[in-house]
Every structure is written in structure tokens, then in C-alpha cells.
């Protein structure tokens, strides 16, 4: 895409070129399922419409539509944007996998950090109140880490949820 900025629309100013590239990128994304010719035609029609209603995106562009070179460069830019969208779509599964691996890595790092820290006062208070509420015998948490306490609390919550779900489900199917 970078090389296109240096080779296309050389007669436009830097700001005009940047605005056109940005607008066309979103325009092509909006009509990605259409052909290059269709997208170009829609773009021309839309710009002419906005010119008629006195609210153009680009005041200078209507005169440029008469130039064959300008239209040819627009087609090149539209094709390049479509190609970029297609590449991005093809890379999507790989990027999702990368995000998932990064998330798992951050979780492991967080757990390693928590394993070295003492539990917070809030954690201890929550654990004690949870034990009182569910009438569970409290474990000795004197030498437990923040991670250990988190896991204990999670285990208690899971155990308390299971009977509720089992009872709820069994009522439905009987």
C-alpha cells in the first residue's frame, strides 16, 4: 500500500491524497462483495449526489472523474484495497490463534505472580464470609498464596453451583 501512495494521484496534495485513500478504504470495505467496476461506479454516483446536495466529501473530485488517468488510478486503489481485505480475512484464523495464545500466556504469568504473593485482606474476608454462608469448615490459610486462596474460593463456588444446577435440571426432566 505504501508504494501506491508514492505512485498514484501525483497531482493531488498530500492532504487530498490521504483523505481519498482513507475514504476509499472504508468505502471498499463497505462494498467488499461487489466488483471493482461496481465499486467505482457507486463511488462516482455517491460523490455526484453529495455534490448536488451541496455537501461533497471532496470538492475537487467531480472534475477529476472526466480524466481517464484518474479513473484508472482509482481502479488500482480499489483493487489494492480489496486485496488487502482478502489477505486480512485469510489471516483471521491465525490472528485469533495468536490472541488466544497471548491470553493464555498472560494468564499463566498472572498465576505465577499470584503464587508468590500473600492473599489480600479482601480475599480472606470473602473466603471467611463464604464459609459462614455455606457452613463450610475453614481451612488453615496462614501459609496459602493469593493463587491458592483464589482456587479454594473458586472450588467452593463451583461446588455450591452444582447442586443448584442439578436440582434445577432434575425438576425440569421429571
Question: In terms of Cα–Cα distance, which of 99, 96, 89, 88 is closest to 1?
Answer: 88
CA distances for 95 relative to 88, 90, 104, angstroms: 9, 10, 14
pLDDT tens for the chain, 174 residues: list them: 567 778 888 888 899 889 999 999 999 999 989 999 999 999 999 998 988 898 888 888 888 888 899 899 999 999 999 999 999 999 999 999 999 999 999 999 999 999 999 999 999 999 999 998 888 888 888 888 999 999 999 998 888 777 666 555 554 444
Q: How far, in Å, are 8, 31, 81, 153, 161 from residue 28 at the CA level? A: 17, 5, 7, 51, 49
**pTM for this structure?**
0.60
Amino acid at each position: 500500500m505504501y508504494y501506491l501512495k508514492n505512485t498514484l494521484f501525483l497531482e493531488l496534495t498530500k492532504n487530498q491524497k490521504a483523505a481519498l485513500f482513507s475514504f476509499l478504504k472504508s468505502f471498499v470495505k463497505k462494498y467488499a462483495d461487489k466488483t471493482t467496476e461496481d465499486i467505482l461506479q457507486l463511488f462516482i454516483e455517491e460523490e455526484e449526489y453529495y455534490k448536488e446536495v451541496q455537501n461533497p466529501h471532496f470538492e475537487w473530485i467531480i472534475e477529476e472523474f472526466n480524466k481517464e488517468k484518474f479513473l484508472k488510478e482509482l481502479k488500482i486503489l480499489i483493487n489494492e484495497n480489496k486485496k488487502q481485505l482478502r489477505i486480512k480475512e485469510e489471516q483471521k484464523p491465525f490472528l485469533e490463534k495468536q490472541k488466544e495464545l497471548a491470553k493464555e500466556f498472560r494468564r499463566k504469568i498472572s498465576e505465577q505472580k499470584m503464587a508468590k504473593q500473600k492473599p489480600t485482606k479482601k480475599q480472606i474476608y470473602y473466603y471467611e464470609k463464604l464459609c459462614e454462608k455455606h457452613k463450610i469448615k475453614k481451612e488453615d490459610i496462614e501459609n496459602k498464596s493469593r493463587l491458592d486462596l483464589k482456587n479454594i474460593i473458586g472450588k467452593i463456588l463451583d461446588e455450591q453451583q452444582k447442586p443448584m444446577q442439578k436440582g434445577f435440571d432434575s425438576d425440569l426432566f421429571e
